[in-house]
Amino acid sequence: MPPVTSHQSPQLIVALDVDTLEKATHFVDILYPTVKLFKVGSSLFPAWGTDVVRMVGKKGGRVFLDLKFLDIPNTVYSATASGTSSCIAVYSIPSGLDEKKTEDQVTKHLSSPVFMMTLHTLGSSEMLRKGVKGAEDEAAKQGIKKPLLVGVTVLTCEVADVEEVLKRACIAKEAGLDGVVCSAHEAAAVKEACGKDFLVVAPGIRPKGYKTDDQKRKATAQEAIAAGADFIVVGRPILEAQDPRKAAEDILKELS
């Protein structure tokens, strides 16, 4: 699994907002490897937990674990540690491997399918810092890369004051988070206030002319990119499309 970092072109995350493991597997089968990043949130995780995370990882994809941790600091420490620990074995097989020889020729290492998790910025600064520490400690224990941690500011189904989003973004940065989740409408202001390397994950992405649904602060992929988003999250416009792979490909063309 290649590492996911902020120093690259904007990337598409498809939200697996479905209610069964079978449906999630169906969409990952259709979309991978066109899409490599998938969001797992409250629609799937309460019932299917690490089964869905490992399913995505074994296909070769990476998981954006969007559970918006908000609790006492020690509980959030445990939550981010737990999210980091869902490792799978990754095997590197050299070319020309002699099948008659021992498996010592096969290199094995652990990798977590989870590349990014959310914490809610309504929590205290101590809670956010403990969340960072939980992920750091578990990553060091497992010998893997720490997942990115991003703070949820104001949901895109709500009307937001830019100043409130910026306040929460600054709290997240001071606590050591890697970025925030906010709409494309606030992305440029967040980048200006927190720096270009501070990640912006933009949900509420809709193709031009697509129905609004419950999103009050929606944007197109191009608008999100222009505003400086590092990741865009798209669910229904892809999952409900007649041809989900083509819908994803069309959005990826906008990103490129």
Catalytic residue list = 68
Closest to 190 (Cα-Cα) out of 203, 173, 177: 173
Residue 83 CB contacts under 8 Å (≥ 6 apart), including other chains = 65, 67, 114, 117, 135, 147
Distances in Å between the Cα of 138 and the Cα atoms of 89, 146, 189 are 16, 8, 33
For 10, list phi and psi in degrees, rounded to 5: -55, 145
Q: Is 156 exposed, middle or buried (0-12, 13-18, 19+ CB in 10 A)?
A: buried
3-class secondary-structure state, position 124: coil
